[in-house]
Amino acid sequence: MKIKFAKVGFFALLITGVLILFFLKSKDDLEIIGNHEIQYIKIENIDEESCLNCHSDTKGYSEYHNPELIGCISCHLGNPNTLDKEDSHKGMVLIPGNLVDAAVTCGKCHPNELSKIENSLMTTNSGLVAVDKYIFGEADSPDYHYHIKDIKDSPADKHIRDLCANCHLGAEKQEYGEITQMSRGGGCNACHLNYSEEAKTDLVNYLSSDKKELPKFHPSTDIFVKNEHCYGCHSRSSRISTNYEGWQETMLNEEEIIGFKGFKTVEDKRVYKYIEEDIHHTKGLLCVDCHSSHEVMGTGKKYTHEEQAVTLQCADCHFKEKPNTISYDSLDAESLLVFLHRDYTHYDKEMIAVKKDNHPLVNTFIDSLGNAFLIGKKDGVLHPLNPQPEICSRDNAHKNVSCATCHSSWTSRCIGCHTEFDKNEPRAFDLLDKKYGKGQWKEHVAEFSSSLPAIGVRENKDGKNIEPAIPGMIMTIDKGSYTGEIGKDVTFHRLYAPNSPHTTISKVRDCKSCHANSATLGYGKGELVYIIENGKGKWNFNAEYADNPNDSLPEDAWIPFLKEVKEGVVNSTRLDFRPFSVKEQQQLLLVGACLQCHKDDSKMMQQSLVNGIEPLLNKLSKNCTLPTWN
């Protein structure tokens, strides 16, 4: 039997006025539909497989992975030509989809997707390894390409093995069960495995019966990716998953929040408090409503950092004038499959295509009046896509400011981390090799908190842009402890990282929160005040945190207050991302001084958005006192 690897059987599809009926083929060939090349995949001797003699009447399969169409051995391998239990199970893959066996399971039907996944950042962890080696002094740049499976046992590599290496797709799923908050890796399962309630119940009965009561409901492998699939890895590091849902991590334990509202404990016992969720989350949108397979699974190209792989921008959906679009007939094969698997019907409408690389968002369309809509992948709800507000469209002063800079309500902050190797740890667990040993890197964090994002400058060949930033690594590393010389080689790092917080709200932060806010400008939390004395204006800053003895800056700061950063100091996890220079700080604080008297919506400040502040400086009132700089 041969099955077409696209929408299987039994429905008609109107394409450019031609009625095409998808059906099973009897010979190997390719079919061209519109501009689409449909590959037919050969499935041998399905009707002769012995598997269903024991596993009969099993339900729960997705439409495209039903054994009536692709058999059982397509996924599970084994010997289908015998009724003997031992012989039939020889060579069987109990949990198919792990990358170690994906080439002979999922990859047989999905070779292109497997090739992309194997080069994706979720598999290579290139950026994680690159930055870690850079900070440990084992590389002179954070931009080299790495693959986590190739790391050895240097201090930086051991640090990754001990604390970070769980979160990559190559980590094997070795136990039955659904994807949970504790899940890491699992190859194709990480995103595509779904358990129904019946399948969960059957699994419990199967395991409790010493594997004698065979399940009647099989878990589904399908395209319906939920936020739970993302959570296990993306609730760590910059904590995108928890941010998106509105939860900020704390240092509290379960006992300390008993009786208090606005807190929750997650499966690994971390305690979170509610701040504010992303507006897209309030509308029921999933991560994959924005981040399609082209970003999540990758394009096959190797990237070092996630911002290189993510091409979607807010302006793709919330466009200024007209969206960048693509027709159904121009969809690539991967996008076509997503369209068909989700039973979309807008064949006759243009869809939004991401401007940077033209990959389609197949859950969007433009109607005959030019209105844009997004179809929620969770529930099919139709969401109007509002164009940019007028202020965003006409504002010349902030043309190089990212949407997230103004529209993020908060972001996570952590400071005071100390990393030290404990050579006597008897139960050290290598997260990469999944085995116990002796000796382990340990981290001790001083504080988790949240605030409006700081902002920094991304400057490279593509231009100069303002983006949110978080204190990524304000920490000491006792590298000497790895060789048994505790305290002999301690390095201090004050590094901020570019960050898209995923705490988007429709209301933008006010002008003072950028132009007169110490944490935003990089000085750390504290009191930033504008003082006028003897006809002169001056900014003063009193830090909330004491100075760190390693560099005499406030514990949570990024840069010194209105002073140049010492030459050679590394203060970012990226070579093309930096804090504001003193000149840029002065420009921002100049506007901050004006805001002491002039409200955001005043005529003068509104004019400054269109033409900049410079023309207005020629029309100063005698009551205006601009800052002086020492």
Domain span including residue 462? 393-619
C-alpha to C-alpha distance for 602 and 616, rounded to whole angstroms: 13
pLDDT higher than threshold 60 for residue 30: no
pLDDT higher than threshold 80 for residue 20: no
Q: How far is CA 528 from the centre of its chain?
A: 33
C-alpha to C-alpha distance for 608 and 614, rounded to whole angstroms: 8
* Residue 629 lies inside a defined structural domain of this protein: no
Contacts of 583 (CB under 8 A, 6+ apart): none
Measured at the CA of 99, the angle between CA 70 and CA 227, to 5 degrees, comes to: 85
* Residue 472 lies inside a defined structural domain of this protein: yes
Question: For all residues of the chain together, what is the average pLDDT?
Answer: 90
Query: Mean pLDDT throughout 236-256?
Result: 94
Q: How many domains does the chain have?
A: 1
The tens digit of pLDDT for each residue in 507-521 reads 989 999 999 999 999
Name the pLDDT band for 390 (thresholds 50, 70, 90): confident
Look up residue 364 and give its amino acid.
T
Q: Work out the burial of residue 111: count CB atoms within 10 Å of its CB; fewer than 13 is exposed, 13-18 middle, 19 or more buried.
A: middle
The tens digit of pLDDT for each residue in 78-112 reads 999 999 999 999 999 999 999 999 999 999 999 99
From the CB of residue 328, how many other CB atoms can be counted at a distance below 10 Å?
Answer: 24
* Residue 409 lies inside a defined structural domain of this protein: yes
Sign of the CA dihedral with 483 first, then 486, 491, and 493 last? positive
Residue 42: predicted pLDDT? 54
Name the pLDDT band for 4 (thresholds 50, 70, 90): very low
C-alpha to C-alpha distance for 87 and 75, rounded to whole angstroms: 17
C-alpha to C-alpha distance for 417 and 437, rounded to whole angstroms: 24
**Whole-structure pTM value:** 0.90
Query: Mean pLDDT throughout 434-455?
Result: 93
The tens digit of pLDDT for each residue in 391-412 reads 776 677 888 999 999 999 999 9
The tens digit of pLDDT for each residue in 336-362 reads 999 999 999 999 999 999 999 999 999
The tens digit of pLDDT for each residue in 139-188 reads 999 999 999 999 999 999 999 999 999 999 999 999 999 999 999 999 99
Name the pLDDT band for 567 (thresholds 50, 70, 90): confident
Strand, coil or helix: 461: coil
* Residue 397 lies inside a defined structural domain of this protein: yes
Give the residue among 578, 49, 500 at the shortest CA–CA distance from 314.
Answer: 500
Long-range Cβ contact pairs of 193-200 (< 8 A, separation 24 or more): 193/97, 193/219, 193/220, 193/221, 194/219, 194/220, 194/221, 194/222, 194/224, 194/226, 195/219, 195/220, 196/60, 196/220, 198/59, 198/60, 199/60
Query: Mean pLDDT throughout 241-250?
Result: 97
pLDDT higher than threshold 90 for residue 559: yes
* Residue 242 lies inside a defined structural domain of this protein: no
* Residue 447 lies inside a defined structural domain of this protein: yes
**DSSP string across 433-447:** TTEEES-EEEEE--E
* Residue 507 lies inside a defined structural domain of this protein: yes
* Residue 297 lies inside a defined structural domain of this protein: no
Name the pLDDT band for 324 (thresholds 50, 70, 90): very high
| Segment holding 309, helix H or strand E | helix 306-309
From the CB of residue 373, how many other CB atoms can be counted at a distance below 10 Å?
Answer: 17
| Residues 181 and 162: beta-carbon distance below 8 Å | no
Residue for token pair 């002491």: 596
